[in-house]
Amino acid sequence: MKLKITITGPKVNDVGYRYFLLGIAMSNRIRMFEAHNMRSSEGQAVLAFADGDEEAIKAFCAQIETERPARSEVSNIVFDDFQGEVMRIGEYAQFCATIQLNKAIPVLLDMRDDLRAVRKNTDLIPQIKENTDAIPQIKANTDAIPQIKANTDAIPQIKANTDAIPQIKANTDAIPHVLGEIKGLRDDIQPGYANNFRQVQADVRAIKERLGMQ
């Protein structure tokens, strides 16, 4: 018995409906089966063909009338007689596998690119660790900023002191001359001081004699 099944509705494509029908056909031991996603005037459609024992076909039809794939939205299911050729169910399963592989290839390529990006990021981990290990030193340098600022604020005073160095040097250079002058004064004072001291002693003795003092 050959049968054509047309399933229409807002959401019957890309919900696994063909594989759902394939599973039901295999469970009912139908040897000839195929299904295809279509577009119709009513919207999305799945067109299925089955060829097998009459009892198996009836059981198949009863099951698909009462069961639906998850997330599908079905408006109508129509059963019609069919006289054409139907693909062997094994060949159709291979056909479905090919379709899924074609869908999977872009996904696999994206996964490959993502893995490459992950590996590139993983290769950066030693550098990230090195940067992380430097954080204490960076913090220490940051903590030193107030001291650096204080030292920087002292620069004008340091410059003023530096500018005074020539005057300090001039004063220092004058020290030998000053010392020489002091030494000369001392040498000049000492002889006169001794003479004056002897004169004072003589005057004291004369006064004592006049007063009758010994």
From 13, 18, 68, 141, the catalytic residue: 18
Tell me whether residue 205 is one of the annotated catalytic residues: no
From 31, 37, 196, 205, the catalytic residue: 37
Tell me whether residue 68 is one of the annotated catalytic residues: no
Give dist(CA 71, CA 83) in Å, integer: 32
Measured between its terminal Cα atoms, the distance across the chain in Å is 176
Q: Is 174 exposed, middle or buried (CB count within 10 Å of its CB: 0-12, 13-18, 19+)?
A: exposed
Q: Which long-range contacts (CB under 8 A, 24 or more apart) does 59-66 make?
A: 59/28, 60/24, 60/25, 60/28, 60/30, 61/3, 61/5, 63/24, 63/28, 64/5, 64/7, 64/21, 64/24
Question: Do residues 82 and 4 lie in contact, with contact meaning Cβ atoms separated by under 8 Å?
Answer: yes
Give dist(CA 33, CA 21) in Å, integer: 9
Q: How many C-beta atoms lie closer than 10 Å to residue 13's C-beta?
A: 17
Residues designated catalytic: 18, 37
